[in-house]
Amino acid sequence: MTASRSQCFLLLVLVLVLAGCGKTPWNDPYPVSERGQNIRYAAFSERPKHLDPARSYSSNEVEFIGQIYEPPLQYHYLKRPYTLIPATATEVPKPRYLDAAGRPLPADAPVQRIAYSVYDIHLRPGIRYQPHPAFARDAQGRFLYHHLSPEQVGRIENLDDFKHTGTRELTADDYVYEIKRLAHPGLNSPIFGIMSEYIVGLKEYGAMLAKVQQTQRANGGDAYLDLNRYPLAGAQVVDRYTYRVTLKGKYPQFVYWLAMPFFAPVPWEVEKFYSQPGMQEKNLVLDWFPVGTGPYMLTVNDPNRRMVLERNPNFHGERYPSEGEPGDREQGLLRDAGKPLPFIDKAVFSLEKEDIPYWNKFLQGFYDSSGISSDTFDQAIRIGAAGDAALTDDLKKKGIHLVSTVMATISYMGFNMQDPVVGGLSERARKLRQAISVAVDYEERISIFSNGRGIPAQGPIPPGIFGYRSGRVGIDPYLYDWVGDHARRKPIAEARRLLAEAGYPDGRDAVTGRPLVLNFDTAATGADAKSRLEWLVKQFRKLDIELVIRATDYNRFQDKMRKGTAQIFEWGWNADYPDPENFLFLLYGPNGKVNGGGENAANYENPEFDRLFERMKNMDNGPERQRLIDQMVDIARRDAPWVWGYYPQAYGLYHGWLHNAKPNLMANNGLKYLRVDPALRERLREEWNRPVLWPLGVLALALLAVLAPAGWNYWRREHRAPGAGMK
């Protein structure tokens, strides 16, 4: 090595050492320009498929559109049970009831007399849309970009290429327009089916639009359907800030739908803008770039890398809530009471397909929050002797907080009630199902396969939903005893007694002597699924019942469920809205999957349960509704169409610089309530990500020791006197 190369090497080492003295972590994945900014950093693992509110029905999609679109109602961020409050509306609407002749009825009129429910939704004036080229007009008031030529579209690559943007006020027309879009034949809205059963004229409206679209295409017209030309009887504009929705019969759960993006406003100008030829090929569509009145707008949609929400400069404003549930004040959740929303200027979501890289970046401070996967559970949580979960010391030292909540979800094992062995309402079949329900130890399952994240279900209604009972009055007496201050699963001896009374002593048919063999149908695959299935086989073996696992692909499994050829299966349900009807309808006979194509996967049918459900479903919450729910749950516990399973528990980890984090399982617009402390985040990132440079110093000294003699000899040769050393 020459002296010059040695000098270059030493210079490089010096540069590295000096770089290590800087404050920016070498492994920081974000631009230097974002340092210290009021930004929320999060991740997503799956590309959102739909960002159009009429089409979106997935949690990974609503994480974005919930911050952009504003339905008329929303859920109170802090209160539990979940409580509806106005968003753009002035109040939560109360229905007016009419009989078949259109005459008014009192609020307590019998359900049988109510032919129509009328909801008038009043909007707050002065709410404006985010800036968007669809609203841009020239000096004469004409739209600038509604009639683009193919050449103009060809020069456009993204929305930033449009020089001008505009906005306008939110009006009642926009909400009516979106309700019409639910019937649009080109959108295939996932709730069109259920809404067409309630909103007057919606089913016929969908059929009419399909014919109109077919005629347009046959005549060579464009794909744009101007829904303003076609009135809908069940959704009408009353005045600029009021619209009316008319439903068939009584359906009090409709107000919950008014808090979902399906009923958010979509302006006709935006749909007209996006429907121009050539726009779809460039992903310039509502499904890719939504337009709303909410606190944020989507400015970057690169689902293979990152998505960015930025503050909507036209947001009408809102205040952080001033009240919550007991304990919120003590946890610091009311420190920002009354302050203007949103707190955060920008939210950056980065694609993370694997759990481990995501977890490591969270620990380094590059994500503000994280869930806990099975692979990282032991690094995050320690389970105490009493079964309580707490953070590990390492995470506590980092100032990380743990927040847990029981989800409005149930995961259960179902019996096909049409099956000749496990189905039916005979005493023999009922006691067989009860015996299995006692034997399958879901406490153990939660501990082994969910890291303790869940609570055993005592019925179909999860905590946080009206009708749920806790404590001694809430246990299933067929499966549990109340001992001291907690529920204890009945012993296996009780299960064996029930099995014998069902006619299967020691797992054999008392008449034929043959062993009882049952089938479990599943589409689950992989190592984790194999372990769970082996555990399940052992649960049945406690009763000397042989359980045969019939694994198949998902399509075949779904086909079995539709045809009723499955015998025992696992299923689950996430709440669409916080009402007991949304869970009890899973056991309502007419909703049977085989005969009705509904969500009653067990095909359970009990006339008394169905009669009570029909009375309960449209009632307002109160003592009488609770009484009916208690009766229904008792009937279902006795009949045991499900092994109740468990209610999953979600764990969330939050860095100390992220404030106001409280999981809300019904609300989807929580970003506006969060607040970050950028200075604290930057300081801790620097502390946690300091480069370890001493190995480079040791390496440099070692190389210097090796190279110094050679360098010295080279220098002597270059500087010795002419002729020196020669004889």
Q: Residue 596 contacts by C-beta under 8 Å, 6 or more apart in sequence?
A: 590
Q: Which of 500, 469, 522, 456 is nearest to 630 (CA)?
A: 469
Mean per-residue pLDDT, 158-163: 94
At residue 17, does pLDDT exceed 80? Answer: no
Tell me what pLDDT residue 709 has: 76
At residue 15, does pLDDT exceed 90? Answer: no
Radius of gyration over alpha carbons of the chain, in Å? 32
17-24, Cβ contacts within 8 angstroms, sequence gap of 24 or more: 17/693, 17/696, 17/697, 20/690, 20/691, 20/693, 23/682, 23/686, 24/686
Least confident of 111-120, 381-390, 418-427: 381-390
pLDDT level of residue 696 (50, 70, 90 thresholds)? low
pLDDT per position as a tens digit, 329-356: 999 999 999 999 999 999 999 999 998 9
pLDDT level of residue 526 (50, 70, 90 thresholds)? confident
* DSSP one-letter code for 52: S
Least confident of 36-40, 300-304, 627-631: 300-304
Tell me what pLDDT residue 22 has: 56
In Å, the largest CA–CA distance within the chain is: 131
At residue 4, does pLDDT exceed 70? Answer: no
Least confident of 19-23, 285-289, 460-464, 704-708: 19-23
At residue 706, does pLDDT exceed 90? Answer: no
Token pair in block for residue 174: 């926009």
Model pTM score: 0.85
Tell me what pLDDT residue 693 has: 61
Mean per-residue pLDDT, 508-527: 92
Alpha helices in 182-226 (DSSP H): 192-196, 202-218
Tell me how far apart the alpha carbons of residues 663 and 406 are, in angstroms, rounded to a whole number: 10
Tell me what pLDDT residue 597 has: 85
Tell me what pLDDT residue 414 has: 97
The one-letter amino acid at 693: L
pLDDT level of residue 692 (50, 70, 90 thresholds)? low
Q: At what angle do helices 427-439 and 492-501 cross, to 10 degrees?
A: 160
Percent of the chain with pLDDT over 90: 80
Instruction: Classify residue 180 as exposed, middle or buried by CB count within 10 Å of its CB (0-12, 13-18, 19+).
Output: buried
Tell me what pLDDT residue 705 has: 72
pLDDT level of residue 389 (50, 70, 90 thresholds)? confident
At residue 134, does pLDDT exceed 70? Answer: yes
566, 560 Cβ separation under 8 angstroms: yes
pLDDT level of residue 717 (50, 70, 90 thresholds)? confident
Tell me what pLDDT residue 385 has: 67
Least confident of 21-25, 369-373, 433-437: 21-25
At residue 255, does pLDDT exceed 90? Answer: yes
C-alpha atoms less than 13 angstroms from C-alpha of 110 in its C-beta half-sphere: 2
666, 396 Cβ separation under 8 angstroms: no
Tell me what pLDDT residue 532 has: 94
Tell me how far apart the alpha carbons of residues 614 and 105 are, in angstroms, rounded to a whole number: 20
Tell me what pLDDT residue 395 has: 95
Token pair in block for residue 294: 């909410």
Tell me how far apart the alpha carbons of residues 623 and 467 are, in angstroms, rounded to a whole number: 10
pLDDT per position as a tens digit, 416-461: 999 999 999 999 999 999 999 999 999 999 999 988 899 999 999 9
Mean pLDDT of the chain: 92
Tell me how far apart the alpha carbons of residues 311 and 182 are, in angstroms, rounded to a whole number: 28
Tell me what pLDDT residue 185 has: 94
Mean per-residue pLDDT, 387-412: 91
Tell me what pLDDT residue 727 has: 42
Tell me what pLDDT residue 23 has: 64
Tell me what pLDDT residue 580 has: 95
Q: Which of 24, 26, 44 is nearest to 369 (CA)?
A: 44
* 3-state DSSP assignment of residue 232: strand
Give the pairing of strands 242-248 and 235-239. Answer: antiparallel
Mean per-residue pLDDT, 53-58: 92
Mean per-residue pLDDT, 537-560: 94
Tell me what pLDDT residue 720 has: 65
At residue 18, does pLDDT exceed 50? Answer: no
411, 570 Cβ separation under 8 angstroms: yes
Alpha helices in 471-510 (DSSP H): 492-501
3-class SS string, 416-467? CCCCCCCCCCCHHHHHHHHHHHHHCCHHHHHHHHCCCCEEECCCCCCCCCCC
At residue 560, does pLDDT exceed 90? Answer: yes
Other residues' Cβ atoms within 10 Å of the Cβ of residue 318 = 17
At residue 12, does pLDDT exceed 60? Answer: no
C-alpha atoms less than 13 angstroms from C-alpha of 592 in its C-beta half-sphere: 17
Higher pLDDT, 221 or 595: 595
At residue 24, does pLDDT exceed 90? Answer: no
Q: Which of 277, 649, 290 is nearest to 457 (CA)?
A: 649
At residue 678, does pLDDT exceed 80? Answer: yes
Q: Residue 692 contacts by C-beta under 8 Å, 6 or more apart in sequence?
A: none
pLDDT level of residue 524 (50, 70, 90 thresholds)? confident
| Per-residue CA distances from 528 to 239, 357, 440, 448, 524 (Å) | 57, 21, 18, 11, 9
pLDDT per position as a tens digit, 197-254: 999 999 999 999 999 999 988 887 777 899 999 999 999 999 999 999 999 999 999 9
pLDDT per position as a tens digit, 620-674: 889 999 999 999 999 999 999 999 999 999 899 999 999 999 999 899 999 999 9
* DSSP one-letter code for 292: -
